[in-house]
């Protein structure tokens, strides 16, 4: 579903009949149990790790992220200059999956004590240029980001500026995580196809592959990608919460797992963090690496506790380069697939989200549509401190 937002019909019961209390947003986050996050938090909660969310911005008014945001920046067509204006909701959703604080019954992130570095690379939720993404990645590295979350993908293979920015991140000991995309195609575009990047596909409840994931030999890990509950700005969705489908969400969950590992092993370099996540993944399909789920679904508990021998470098990366200062010709550069022969189209490439692929609003009575391109302002609503019980009547939203 690269470049498309689809609202799906969904029925959400926020409180089971006879329940003693209203169900919280955290209770609706099935992926937490699937990944063993409660157990993982007994070992690490991501304390102090800086995760850059290079996206549409991160709303600094969400209570779910209270105290989690560092001063950010904006590039390209970003709304504002500090990374905290999110007219689309995508970046806020990803940041919450990584570091949500579960404030007042809200959403919990995989690494709730990590710090989010908001890097907005476009005001429009659908379209970013590779230039703005590359600038955002480079800036984030210079601010000391330990993990860089790229919940976005492109149809083309690569451009030199994006390759240079990612290699710059590797040279400065950052873990880079990116989504494979949501078209269900055998194609992994940039930046996920750059060697050394953790390319993330999706899974569903029960650990089966999410069939809308893009796949290919570049796939490294998988994580939950369907009906993932997270927070969004109330200016986008009145309730402040939504369910999302897509490898964007899966990418954020893996970034959260990387933050847990970096906090647990503060002296471990990025290459060994990547190796630990790979070596401890739960194999889902045929033995070994496969195109659909890579080495398997990320397992935060095993990544934190297993005995994993150290490696000399990132096992996904090509042999060390003399320097990343010179930009190699695209067709010959290490770490990328051969780009399409369409002249300089790569520099004009529109980068699509790796997925706010499907959205359904969490409300007690109705499901509202999340129009990702809408600029119509909505009046703010009070923060819901407790999720109310549902009525007997539910609405289903239609695809559009």
Catalytic residue among 27, 55, 183, 245: 55
SS3 annotation, 81-112: CCCCCCCCCHHHHHHHHHHCECHHHCCECCCC
The answer to whether the beta carbons of residues 385 and 102 sit under 8 Å apart is no
196 closest CA partner among 128, 268, 116, 278: 278
Radius of gyration of the chain measured on its C-alpha atoms: 19
Question: What is the DSSP secondary structure assignment for residue 312, as one 8-state letter?
Answer: S
User: Which residue(s) pair with 148 in the sheet?
Assistant: 52, 176
Catalytic residue among 120, 132, 248, 367: 248
248 classed as catalytic:
yes
Q: Dihedral sign, CA of 322, 327, 331, 336?
A: positive
Catalytic residue among 90, 126, 187, 255: 90
Rounded Cα–Cα distance for residues 193 and 156 (Å): 10
Rounded Cα–Cα distance for residues 194 and 187 (Å): 13
The answer to whether the beta carbons of residues 31 and 245 sit under 8 Å apart is no
Provide the H-helix boundaries in the chain.
30-34, 37-40, 90-99, 130-142, 160-171, 247-264, 270-279, 300-305
Secondary structure E strands in the chain: 6-7, 50-55, 73-74, 115-120, 128-129, 147-150, 152-153, 175-179, 198-203, 221-224, 228-231, 241-245, 350-353, 358-361
Dihedrals φ, ψ of 299, to 5°?
-125, 90
Rounded Cα–Cα distance for residues 134 and 200 (Å): 19
Dihedrals φ, ψ of 7, to 5°?
-90, 125
90 classed as catalytic:
yes
Which residue numbers are catalytic?
A: 55, 90, 248
């Amino acid at each position: 579903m690269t470049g498309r937002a689809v609202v799906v019909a969904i029925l959400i019961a926020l409180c089971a009949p006879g329940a003693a209390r209203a169900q919280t947003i955290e209770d609706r986050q099935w992926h937490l149990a699937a990944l063993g996050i409660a157990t993982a938090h007994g070992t690490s909660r991501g304390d102090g790790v800086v995760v850059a969310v290079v996206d549409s911005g991160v709303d600094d008014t969400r209570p779910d992220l209270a105290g989690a945001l560092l001063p950010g920046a904006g590039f390209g067509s970003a709304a504002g200059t500090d990374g905290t204006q999110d007219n689309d909701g995508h970046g806020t959703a990803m940041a919450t999956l990584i570091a949500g604080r579960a404030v007042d019954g809200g959403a919990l992130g995989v690494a709730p004590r990590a710090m989010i570095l908001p890097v907005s690379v476009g005001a429009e939720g659908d379209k970013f240029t590779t230039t703005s993404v590359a600038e955002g990645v480079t800036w984030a590295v210079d601010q000391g980001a330990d993990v860089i979350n790229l919940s976005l993908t492109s149809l083309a293979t690569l451009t030199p500026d994006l390759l240079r920015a990612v290699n710059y991140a590797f040279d400065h000991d950052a873990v880079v995580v990116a989504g494979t995309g949501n078209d269900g195609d055998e194609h992994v575009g940039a930046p996920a196809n750059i060697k050394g990047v953790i390319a993330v596909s999706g899974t569903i409840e029960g650990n089966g592959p999410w069939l809308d994931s893009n796949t290919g030999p570049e796939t490294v890990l998988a994580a939950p990608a369907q009906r993932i509950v997270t927070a969004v700005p109330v200016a986008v969705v009145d309730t402040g919460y939504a369910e999302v489908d897509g490898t964007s969400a899966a990418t954020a969950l893996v970034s959260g797992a990387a933050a847990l590992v970096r906090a647990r092993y503060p002296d471990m370099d990025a290459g060994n963090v990547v190796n630990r996540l790979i070596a401890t993944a739960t194999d889902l399909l045929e033995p070994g690496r496969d195109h659909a789920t890579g080495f398997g679904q990320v397992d935060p508990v095993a990544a934190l506790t297993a005995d994993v021998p150290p490696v000399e470098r990132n096992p996904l990366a090509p042999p060390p380069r003399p320097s990343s200062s010179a930009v190699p010709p695209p067709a010959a550069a290490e770490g990328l697939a051969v780009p399409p022969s369409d002249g300089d189209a790569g520099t004009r490439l529109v980068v699509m989200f790796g997925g706010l692929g499907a959205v359904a609003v969490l409300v007690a009575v109705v499901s509202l549509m999340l129009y990702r391109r809408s600029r119509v302002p909505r009046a703010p609503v009070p923060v819901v401190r407790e999720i109310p019980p549902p009525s007997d009547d539910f609405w289903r939203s239609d695809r559009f």
